[in-house]
Every structure is written in structure tokens, then in C-alpha cells.
A and B are shown apart, each in its own frame.
Chain A
Amino acid sequence: MNCPIETQEGSALLLAYSSRKLDPQAVALLDRHLESCSACRDFVAGQSAVWNALDLWEAAPVSADFDRRLYQRIEQQVSWWDMLIRPFRPVFDHAVPVAAAAGVVLMALVLLDRPSAVPVAVETHSAQVETLQPDQVEHALAEVEMLDQFNHLMRSEPADSHSKM
């Protein structure tokens, strides 16, 4: 076996060996090499010391109110949508199907009226229909629904649920 310390690939192998991430076959091969190579032995000893030293650094626990603060920030982002559509919500609930039906009728009328139809008028009507795209309303309603789910999660979650981490 060529000395692994001489190449980048080999050094990566020694790093993996020191961090105990090698498969048993590769470990056995390296063990045999280490018996006769003091440079690699020093490398492995130093790297193992680093590995153990890094193990000392345990992470600090997470603040108990981390989730609450996060959901609050999400809520702030969502609430402007909510505020925007809330007054129109009952109207939207009923108006969307009506508007869609009106749009279809309007399109039908325009098509029937051809070729004497005035294109400008058609554009005006379709623009009105666009302002009430069901996708937009659905997106807004989904935002509000998700916010409700978060609120529910916040209420059901005990204050210290992740203080153990």
C-alpha cells in the first residue's frame, strides 16, 4: 500500500479512519499500513485528538420560546393577507362561483355575437374576471387556514416542549 498521507485522497482516507467512518475492510488495510508508517500514525493520533476535543463542545439548549417567536413572525407575514381579504371573505365565498358563471355567460355572448363583436369591450370584461381569479382567493384562504393550523399547534404545544434539547 502506498503511503496515504502523500495524496489528498489518502489523507481523506486517514481522516475517515480517525473519525471511525471507514468500513472494516479499509480499516484492516490501514491498520496494517500504520504498523510500519510513523508519519501516518502521527497523523491519526493527532486527528483522533482533534476529534475527541471537538466532542467536548456540546451544543447549548434551544430557548423554550423559539417556536413561539417563529410562529409569531410567520403570523405577522400572513396577517396582512388575512386583513386584506377578511372583509371580502363572505363576498368571495359567494362571488367567485357567480363571477365565474358570469364570465362564462359573457364569453358565450361575445362568441355568439361575432363577427360584430367589439374586441375592446371583451378585453374590459375579461380584465374584470381576472381580478376575481379563484386561484388568488384560494391562495389567500390557504394562507389563513395554515395560520389557523399554526395557532392550533401553538395552543396544543406545552411551553417547555423542547427545552429538553
Chain B
Amino acid sequence: MDERVNRDMGAAAAALDYDAELMLRVKDGDGASFGVLLDKHRSSVIHFLYRMIQNHAVAEELAQEVFLRVYRSRATYEPTAKFTTWLFRIATHLALNSLRDGKNERSQERLDDNPDDLPAKQVSDRRPSIEATMVYEARLEEVRKAIAVLPEKQRAAVLMHKYEEMEYSQIAKVLNCSESAVKSLLFRAYETLRARLAHMA
């Protein structure tokens, strides 16, 4: 009986969430569906982790671990929540652990992440002047530093709100807290960011 209820709930959630449906196919042994999920979420997971950790190599390493955990959990997967909620819960958990474990060693390098080590960006035909590039780099550095000084949970909340365009309710599920706690996290985080970045208007 319970099993049937769970299956019905799973089917209902999967109907609302195509990703969950793909994951159920992975559970049934369909490797191609895992490839589709990877294609769909690879970038957002890596970018989220990169903005959290501010070290490209570590972010990719953690993203590998995220997808490995997704793959490993396929046999026990039940679509009780949105797939991206589950995915970002794993990613956030790994990011917070990584920040706590390696805070001292990484704090030095993360803001000095050498741009030459990053994969090459596509070069635009309209190349900006050296001055424009320098101004852009300086402003970007300010943004990165402003994000880096935020407490970890505030940082995660801002990144999910701004770049992943998640609703408060979804952020709350990822961070395992109430919606009002998320609102409070975001309010304090944006207050700090306004103090540091408002002059860039």
C-alpha cells in the first residue's frame, strides 16, 4: 500500500518535473537519460560552485562529485522534490563542506584564480579597448570580493536567487530552512552587497 502511494506520488512529481522523469529512466538503467541530465545541468552546477568557491579547478572537481552522487543514488531515487532542488542540495552541501575544510588554503588562491588557467572564452569581434578591459576587470574583482565576504549560507542564497532564478521556497528546500529564514538571509546579504556595490550604478 505504502509502496503504491509512494509510486503514485513519484509519478505525480515526475509529471511536473521532466528532469525527475529522466532520473527515473536512469533508475531503470537508461544511461542516455543521465547524459541528457548532465547536458542540461552541467553548466549551472559548475557555475554555482565556481561562484561559491571562486576556484575553477575545485569547482569542476566538486561538480564531478555532484553528478557522481546523482548517478550512485539512482537505485534509491524517489522524485519527492524537484530534481534541481535535490541537485543543488548536493552541490551546496559539497560546497559548504569544501569551504569549511579548506578555508585557509583556498582563501589565498580563490581571489587570485589565474584567468589564464581558465578555459578560453570565445573572442568577440568587437574587442574592447585596454582601458575598458581594465575597468571591467576591476569592477568584476569588486563583485567577486563582495560575494566572497558574504557568510556561506547568505552567499549560497544570493547565488541561487540571482543566477539560478530560484524561488524562495526552492532555496529554502535546498538550504533546509524556512522561507522566512531565506528572506532574512537574502535581505542581510543584499544589504551587505548594497553597501559594497551601490557605487557601481
Contacts and interface: CB of A to CB of B under 8 A. Distances in A.
A48 B64 contact: no
Interface string A145-158: 11101100100000
B167 to A, nearest CB: 9
A49 B197 contact: yes
Task: Give the interface SS of chain A, mostly helix, strand, loop or mixed.
Answer: helix
B1 interface: no
A70 interface: yes
A5 to B, nearest CB: 11
Interface stretch (A32-40, A50-58, A101-109, A119-127): A50-58
Contacts of A67: 38, 42
B190 A50 contact: yes
B64 A8 contact: no
Interface stretch (B16-24, B82-90, B116-124): B116-124
Contacts of B72: 77
A117 B115 CA distance: 77
A57 B201 contact: no
Contacts of B142: 53
A66 interface: yes
A73 interface: yes
Nearest to B75: A139
B132 interface: no
B193 interface: yes
A60 B121 contact: yes
Interface residues of A, number: 43
B29 A69 contact: no
B60 A63 contact: yes
A64 B119 CA distance: 8
A54 B31 contact: no
Contacts of B162: 19, 51, 54
B80 to A, nearest CB: 23
Interface string B169-192: 000000000001001101100100
Contacts of A146: 29-31
B68 A73 contact: yes
8 contacts: A49-B197, A50-B193, A53-B142, A56-B140, A60-B119, A62-B46, A64-B119, A146-B29
Q: Which A-B residue pairs are the 5 nearest by beta carbons?
A: A149-B31, A49-B201, A59-B47, A46-B194, A46-B198
